[in-house]
Amino acid sequence: MEATDVFSAFCAIDIRVGTILAAELFPQARKPAYKLTVDFGAEIGIKRSSAQITALYAIDELVGTRVLAVVNLPFKSIAGFTSEALVLGVPDAQGNVVLVRPDLDVPNGGRLY
């Protein structure tokens, strides 16, 4: 694949900043997870996501947290729950998901380039 094709493919992925408005346990999920409600600003709106981040994050500390998420993937049904965005994270040394998030205040809906 040529460099221009790779860059075009990357640009097709719409990664935005959002603020978690609500988090709740998701007991129906196969692996421990939360249901998240995330505000991506006026252009994208509010979307829901399932995230396997229970090992490192408590519900009460997630509300108000800014995260990065892919917002233009097809919706995915997970145990009867519709996930509309893919919240991004990377595994730590033990395999627990660490959220990818901006370290400074940026507006909801800001796009990663």
Low-confidence ranges of the chain (pLDDT < 50): none
pLDDT of residue 33: 97
- Residue 99's SS3 state is strand
pLDDT of residue 84: 98
Is residue 62 a part of any domain in this protein? yes
CA distance 81 to 67: 20
Which CATH number goes with the domain that contains 66? Answer: 2.40.50.140
Which tokens is 26 given?
């998701």
pLDDT of residue 1: 66
For tokens 């919706």, the residue is: 75
Is residue 59 a part of any domain in this protein? yes
Does the pTM of the predicted model rise above 0.85?
Answer: yes
Beta bridge partners, 97, equal: 91
Is residue 112 a part of any domain in this protein? no
CA distance 86 to 101: 13
Range of the domain at 23: 15-99
For tokens 């108000």, the residue is: 64
pLDDT of residue 55: 97
Is residue 6 a part of any domain in this protein? no
CA distance 19 to 45: 11
Count of domains observed in the chain: 1
Q: How far is CA 37 from the centre of its chain?
A: 10
